[in-house]
Structure 1
Amino acid sequence: MEYWNKRDLVPPVLITFKCKTKKSKEDIRSLSTLLSTALQYFESQNSFEKAAAYVSRFSIRWHNRFYNMHGFRLLKQLNQALLRFRSVDIVRILTDLVSMIPDGSYLEKTVDLPTRASLDYLLVRLQGLTKLFCRIVVLSKNATKYYVRFISMGYFFNISSMFLCLLAEVWYKSRDICRKIVEFYDQLLPLRLLLADDGKDWPSKGGILLPDNLAAWLGSDWTDEIVIKEDQLEILNLRPDTDLYMLLNGEEEDLSNSKKIDALIDAKTIVAKTSVVSLPKTLLMEHIKSDVGEVVARQPKHSMNDQIDQRSADRLRSKFDVKKFLEQEKQKRKQNLSQALTGKVNSATFNAFAASMMRESGKMSTTDYVKTFKEELAILTGGEKVHSKKRKHK
């Protein structure tokens, strides 16, 4: 049975045995140093713990908005893998072992050491963590490619950029942690023969299978995801002048389930690469300047804040225009009576006219109100002839 993949694996009972240090001082010191170094390393991963906490927070914060998007589903699967790593609690396992190992600086003739089962439990957990971190790296990379495509299309640019930075940090640190775990495993495996077997059947009578070379046991996950080869760097075209579209060209086909988005991005990538990326800087600037679009002549928008003459009253179309017209007339009558359209009308008559029109505003429809206002204004300003012409024409 593959115990590395068993979540509820029961740890062995912590038992010690008496060990003479005459012929095994160096091995005991090596075991103590390795366990202490591993404990300090995992305790120092505060930045990774913070990034994992952000992944968990993001998957909850934006669940209702992006739950049906493939990239967000990858983010939630990544969150589950990070929670699985947290449930292993490798720091507690190392702390228990370190507390049972004597100080290597001074060793007595006989010391108490933990049994082999305790170290085997640690090795099995390290074996499972390497597989888990390979999955974390793959999920981070696939989700990152998805959000890179979204950024290149301009969809949810701010959120996708934030996701991209977070996933890049998780991907980078997970690869480093996986390499360290493999290093600790390979160094601890030969030292298990130093510890005595207590005779207990843990975890089963058949025993456990611990690979001699953990990197070889991981196989393609180790060679393709954790250790990047030179040919992979050539495929990705990682040069100082590498841009977003060139990285997209180096991706594999069918990166996600959104095939329609992939087709649009591929078409956009080809156009951008042939027409923009390959141009020198001077020609690129000319290319950008030349595409100014079609020049469209726009008609000036009439504003009621402009100077209003006799013809401006004929352009009134709404109750708001009428109200604005009366306000401007009042202001012009105070500043310069000669510039007002109703300059020849005395103040009492104009105020009565303005008050009556404001009262009628809520009683009449917009069409009738504007029509009545124009007729009354024509009469007020001495335009009876214009008014009578309209009546006669009707």
Structure 2
Amino acid sequence: MASLCFWNDFELKKPPLVTIPVEDTGFAKHVFVLINRYLQQLNTQNAKEFNQTAALIGRLMARRKNSFRNMPGFRSVCKLNAALCRLLRLDLPRDLEHLRGALPDVCDAELSGELPTRSSFEYILVRLLSFYRLHERIRECCLTVAKYFGQLLRNNNFMEYITVLIAAIAKINNLSKLQGNSCAQLYNKLLPQRPHFPLVEKHNFLNEDWKLPTHLNVIKLSKTSTQSDESTPGSPSLNAKATTVITKVDKAKQKAKADVGTVVSRQHPKSGKTPAFQLDSLDTVENVKQFIVRETKARKQTPDNCITKAIKHHEWLSAKTIFESKLNSKEHAKALNIFRKFIGNKI
């Protein structure tokens, strides 16, 4: 029995990472690419959410460990938390990075180089197997927990706690399927490369009664009905409308209904042109006074046709006030000059 669970041995010793010169290093490029792709998947958002959800399950377990400690479903939660902690202790990315770093930089069938021993490569395969089996254990515990606490939820017991717990269990179960599948795919692709690594006769990592599985099963992820309908080409649609046959008579009727005449655009009468204004007409104070009286009246009656329509109301009032104040101060030339400059800049 111990030989079947050698992958879960806590005291499994890692063989020394020793490189041996070989003549053919062409296959090492394929190994490097596979490991590199897998390590890139561990930095995605799903991997971060898996760690966050695992931490949430640990906090939920610690919160109710006194009141739920005798419940069989809560024992499954404890087993689930233990499997998640074991997964964290495994530290598979570190071992993969060490093996990737030991591979030669340039790999080719005609180039010689140094490669890690087969024992180091078998250790990586055992770690992948352990990673895969732990995810199987996690999914089994998730199903047990969901089944037990789902019954409590029907009885309206601990509604808030159980709702959060089941949501976390469902999320960790889905993410575990994704990580387990990626691990199984990596294992299945790396296992055929095992005979290519150099073997050291004096040191064999795997005992005689330890046998690695030849293939790890990949879980088929369930898809929603909408996604399956969209992905399946040529599938009949339930909402598809029946096609109707349009005859020549129907086309003629539609054309007659569509013929509503010619659209005629109405042209609005153009307003009268603004009378031309010459700044030289404001050469005396009296002319400016007459201009102010005339424009004040025009701005009230026809604001769109007056000469000073571009001037805002508060600007026109301030200009009149400054002009009158300068006249009261007996500064006629200055008042005339300021008003002429103001009108010249605005018009």
Assess same fold via TM > 0.5. Answer: yes
Post-superposition shift, 1:214? 2.4
Separation in structure 2 between the aligned mates of residue 106 and residue 203 of structure 1, nearest angstrom: 27
- Aligned CA RMSD, in angstroms, stands at 2.5
The residue matched to 1:63 in structure 2 has which SS?
Answer: coil
Give CA deviations for 1:180-208 in whole Å, capped at 9, x if unaligned: 11111110001111210122323355274
Q: What per-residue deviation string (whole Å, max 9, x for no partner) do you get for residues 141-167 of structure 1?
A: 111122222222211111111001100
- Between Structure 1 and Structure 2, the one with more helix by share is 1
Q: CA deviation at 1:105?
A: 7.8
CA distance in 1, matches of 2:67, 2:60: 11
**Which residue of 1 is the match for residue 39 of structure 2?**
39
Residue 244 of structure 2 corresponds to: none
Contact 2:61-2:78 at 8 Å conserved across structures: yes
Indicate if the aligned counterparts of 2:119 and 2:203 stay in contact, CA closer than 8 A. Answer: no
Q: Residue in 2 aligned with 1:377?
A: none
Q: Distance in 2 between matches of 1:107 and 1:48?
A: 40
Q: Which residue of 2 aligns with 1:56?
A: 58
1:11 aligns with 2:18: no
The 3-state SS of whatever aligns with 2:113 is: strand
Letter of the 1:132 counterpart = L
Kindly name which structure, 1 or 2, has the bigger radius of gyration based on alpha carbons. Answer: 2
Secondary structure of the equivalent of 1:113? strand
CA deviations over 1:116-138 (Å, ceiling 9, x no partner): 11110011121122222111101
Q: Retained in 2: the 8 A contact 1:182–1:214?
A: yes
How far is the alpha carbon of 1:112 from its aligned partner? 2.0
**Alignment partner of 2:202 out of 200, 203, 207:** 200
Cα offsets for 1:82-116 (capped at 9, x unmatched): 11111111111111111112346889933221111
- Structure 2 length as normaliser, TM-score? 0.58
Match of 1:292 in 2: none
Q: How many residues in Structure 1 have an aligned counterpart in Structure 2? A: 221
SS state of the match for residue 41, structure 2?
helix
SS of the residue corresponding to residue 11 of structure 1 reads coil
Q: What are the Cα deviations for residues 331-362 of structure 1, in whole angstroms up to 9, with x where unaligned?
A: xxxxxxxxxxxxxxxxxxxxxxxxxxxxxxxx
- Describe the superposition over 1:253-301 as per-residue Cα deviations: whole angstroms up to 9, x where unpaired: xxxxxxxxxxxxxxxxxxxxxxxxxxxxxxxxxxxxxxxxxxxxxxxxx
User: Equivalences for 1:64-83 in 2 at 5 Å?
Assistant: 64-83=66-85
* Conserved? CA contact 2:122–2:206, under 8 Å: no
1:34–1:184 Cα contact (<8 Å) kept: yes
* Alignment partners' CA distance in 2, 1:137 and 1:85: 13
Question: Separation in 2 of the partners of 1:104 and 1:16?
Answer: 15
1: distance between equivalents of 2:112 and 2:10? Answer: 37
Distance 1:134-1:97 versus aligned 2 partners, 3 A rule: same
- Aligned residue for 1:111? 113
2:154 to 122, 135, 152: 152
Could you list the per-position Cα deviations for residues 21-61 of structure 1 after superposition, in whole angstroms to 9, with x for gaps in the alignment? 4xx42x22111001112222234412111111111222112
Q: Which amino acid aligns with 2:211?
A: L
Partners of 2:22 and 2:115 within 8 A in 1: yes
| 8 Å contact from structure 1 (residues 18, 110) kept in 2 | yes
* Closer, same or farther: CA 57–202 of 1 in aligned 2, 3 Å: farther
Name the % identity. Answer: 28
Counterpart AA for 1:11: K
1-side partners of 2:208 and 2:107: how far apart? Answer: 38
Contact 1:48 1:170 in 2 (8 A): yes
Which structure exhibits the higher relative contact order, with contacts defined as CA atoms closer than 8 Å and separated by 6 or more residues? 2
8 Å contact kept, 1:32–1:102: no
Q: Who is 2:332 aligned against?
A: none
SS of alignment partner, residue 7 of structure 1: coil
Please tell me the residue identity of whatever aligns with 1:168: A
- Whether 2:129 is the aligned partner of 1:127: answer yes
Supply the AA of the counterpart residue of 2:170: A
Aligned residues of 2:28 and 2:107 also touching (Cα < 8 A): no
Structure 2: stretches of 5+ with no match in the other structure: 227-347
